[in-house]
Chains A and B, each alone.
Chain A
Amino acid sequence: KAGVTQTPRYLIKTRGQQVTLSCSPISGHRSVSWYQQTPGQGLQFLFEYFSETQRNKGNFPGRFSGRQFSNSRSEMNVSTLELGDSALYLCASSLTAGVWNTEAFFGQGTRLTVV
């Protein structure tokens, strides 16, 4: 079956612009989580969506937002981009939202560069 698909793979934006990243989870999976990965901060949790509702949110400013559609596809948006937002953004797909559901499947990520 198809894995997690993230688009686009690479993106270059200018400071002050906004960006939307997309994630299509594995078919049948209803939970989508987003992570930011940087060399300095490592992997940090952004937010989690399940059945179109945000269930968890990490410690990121309000410029970072997301949503989930009825088909479980998710988008995240970053407004007023800063140089420090340059990172690999990873999406993880899970079957359910229960704590016992430990296997999250990650996409290849979107590499965002802010110049």
Chain B
Amino acid sequence: GESVGLHLPTLSVQEGDNSIINCAYSNSASDYFIWYKQESGKGPQFIIDIRSNMDKRQGQRVTVLLNKTVKHLSLQIAATQPGDSAVYFCAEKAAGNKLTFGGGTRVLVKP
């Protein structure tokens, strides 16, 4: 598959355990924060978003937490499955549809 990033931080997690992926952002004026998942050979896929006036949002097996005080965003994946193996990016959205992406974290799920 195509290499997304040769030196990405990697999170190894046992199948069934919970995963926590962290992200620091820079723009206090961002209106939304979004998590994307990118599998090998594919484009990024939307997972979940959170508006800047919220601190927590839950989806199916995923929870996003936003801490504006320290400009920190996290994605929690419950009961991690082999299909969750991918690179995860956080992104900030301000004006229009411009997304500013973080560097990415590679998640490896061990059976």
Interface of A with B (CB < 8 Å)? 4, 31, 33, 35, 37, 39, 42-45, 48, 50, 55-56, 58, 88, 90, 92, 94, 97, 99-109, 111
The distance in angstroms between the C-alpha atoms of A89 and B82, with both chains bound, is 27
Minimum-distance CB pairs A-B, first 10: A106-B43, A43-B101, A102-B49, A39-B6, A56-B98, A103-B46, A99-B31, A106-B44, A102-B32, A94-B97
Measured between beta carbons, the chain B residues less than 8 angstroms from A94 are 97
B46 and A55: CB pair below 8 A? no
The distance in angstroms between the C-alpha atoms of A31 and B43, with both chains bound, is 17
B-side interface residues, number (CB < 8 Å): 29
Chain B, residues 12-44, CB within 8 Å of chain A (1/0): the string is 000000000000000000011010000001111
Partner of B5, one of A31, A42, A55, A101: A42
A42 and B98: CB pair below 8 A? no
Measured between beta carbons, the chain B residues less than 8 angstroms from A45 are 98-100
A33-B97, A45-B98 given; 14 more Cβ-contact pairs under 8 Å: A37-B4, A43-B44, A55-B97, A56-B97, A92-B43, A99-B31, A99-B32, A99-B94, A99-B95, A99-B96, A103-B49, A106-B44, A107-B43, A108-B43
* Contacts between the two chains (Cβ within 8 Å), count: 81
The distance in angstroms between the C-alpha atoms of A67 and B99, with both chains bound, is 19
Task: Known contacts A88-B2, A99-B31, A99-B93; decide if A33 and B98 are in contact (CB<8 Å).
Answer: yes
Q: Which of B40-91 contact A (CB under 8 A)?
A: 41-46, 49, 89
The distance in angstroms between the C-alpha atoms of A107 and B4, with both chains bound, is 15
The residue of chain B having its C-beta at the shortest distance from the C-beta of A58 within the complex is: B98
Measured between beta carbons, the chain A residues less than 8 angstroms from B96 are 31, 48, 50, 55-56, 97, 99
The distance in angstroms between the C-alpha atoms of A99 and B6, with both chains bound, is 32
The residue of chain A having its C-beta at the shortest distance from the C-beta of B91 within the complex is: A43
Measured between beta carbons, the chain B residues less than 8 angstroms from A102 are 32, 34, 46, 49, 93
